[in-house]
Amino acid sequence: MAVIESRSRYAAAVRYMHWTVFVLVLLAYIFINIFELFPKGSALRTNIKAAHFTAGIAVLLLVLPRGVIRLRNGRPPIVPALPYAMEILSKLTHVALYAFLLVQPILGIVTLQVGGKAVKLFGVTLLPSFVGTPNTALSHQLEDIHGTIGTIFYYVIGLHIAAALWHYVGRRDNTLQRML
Ligand code: HEM
Ligand code: HEM
């Protein structure tokens, strides 16, 4: 039974990881987009920003176990099989998404470290500052790169979601059901 299920869907651990990371990335985006709605210096603003850092750090902590679990469990076939060009496009998108899940949080952490800032949530230090002398200019440059990558990935993630929905309603194959 387990064997049949693992052939028609991704393994449970792979599916749980996919959707957990999806929620964390969604939260990271939501928090960073709403924190500016609150007054400068307010505890709420500081903690919403810190929640962005925390969600992002959780993504980073999960990316390696996720990759290992995925490699151990394989990928169930898409029925009917994809044309070669589409197969390549989906592989490229997945590699880009994995790279993003790794690079984006690291860049965020480096931005804070170079700026001499710790990650504190509700006053609790989750990640201390390890850099003695902050370099504010460099930190701002890294923040810009982090922001640009964040913007680019609205489109990449959008493409990924559009593709998943197109497989379901347009091509009517089992791509999406394998991840549910
Ligand atoms: C999946 C993970 C993450 C995503 C998708 C993400 C995305 C973003 C986005 C879209 C922005 C807004 C850029 C702008 O509007 O200019 C941003 C800002 C920022 N992020 Fe992240 N981020 C992630 C993880 C992290 C982590 C782990 C940290 C640090 C621990 C971090 C630190 C920052 C900082 C310092 C800013 C600038 C905030 C400000 O304007 O003061 N990010 N991030
Ligand atoms: C932050 C948002 C998301 C990220 C970072 C993300 C990331 C990924 C990654 C890296 C894979 C490749 C899995 C592997 O084979 O190793 C994947 C697969 C998949 N994702 Fe997402 N995903 C996101 C959102 C979504 C959403 C919202 C949907 C559905 C509407 C979705 C549907 C799928 C499906 C169906 C697959 C399997 C594709 C295949 O095997 O060809 N994803 N996702």
pLDDT of residue 3: 47
pLDDT digits (tens, 9 = 90+) for 132-148: 899 999 999 999 999 99
Secondary structure element (H or E) that encloses residue 88, with its range: helix 84-114
Q: Any idea which ligand is nearest the CA of 40?
A: 1
3-state DSSP call for residue 125? strand
Whole-model pTM: value is 0.95
pLDDT of residue 52: 98
Q: Is the CB of residue 84 less than 8 Å from the CB of residue 103? A: no
Residue 99: pLDDT above 60? yes
pLDDT of residue 88: 97
pLDDT of residue 16: 98
pLDDT of residue 1: 43
Ligand 1 atom index nearest CA of 57? 27
pLDDT of residue 4: 44
Mean pLDDT across the stretch 58-80? 97
Band of residue 170 on the pLDDT scale cut at 50, 70, 90: very high
Q: Is the CB of residue 24 less than 8 Å from the CB of residue 59? A: yes
Closest CA to ligand 2's atom 36: 179
Q: 54: buried, middle or exposed (CB in 10 Å: 19+, 13-18, 0-12)?
A: buried
Closest CA to ligand 2's atom 1: 22
Residue 64: pLDDT above 50? yes
Give yes or no for residue 75 CB within 6 A of ligand 2. yes
Structure-block tokens of residue 99: 């790279």
Structure-block tokens of residue 150: 């964040």
pLDDT of residue 60: 98
Closest CA to ligand 2's atom 9: 94
pLDDT of residue 7: 73
Q: Any idea which ligand is nearest the CA of 105?
A: 1
Q: Any idea which ligand is nearest the CA of 96?
A: 2
The half-sphere exposure of 154 on its side-chain side, counting CA atoms within 13 A, is: 8
Lowest mean pLDDT among 2-6, 42-46, 110-114: 2-6
Residue 179: pLDDT above 70? yes
Structure-block tokens of residue 58: 């959780």
Cα of 83 vs its chain's centroid, Å: 28
Cα(175) to ligand 2 centroid in Å equals 10
Band of residue 5 on the pLDDT scale cut at 50, 70, 90: very low
Q: What is the mean pLDDT of the chain?
A: 95
Q: Is the CB of residue 90 less than 8 Å from the CB of residue 110? A: no
Contact partners, residue 33, CB within 8 Å, separation at least 6? none
Structure-block tokens of residue 171: 């091509």
Cα(105) to ligand 1 centroid in Å equals 8
Give yes or no for residue 164 CB within 6 A of ligand 2. yes
> Angle at the Cα of 67 (from 85 to 178), degrees rounded to 5?
55
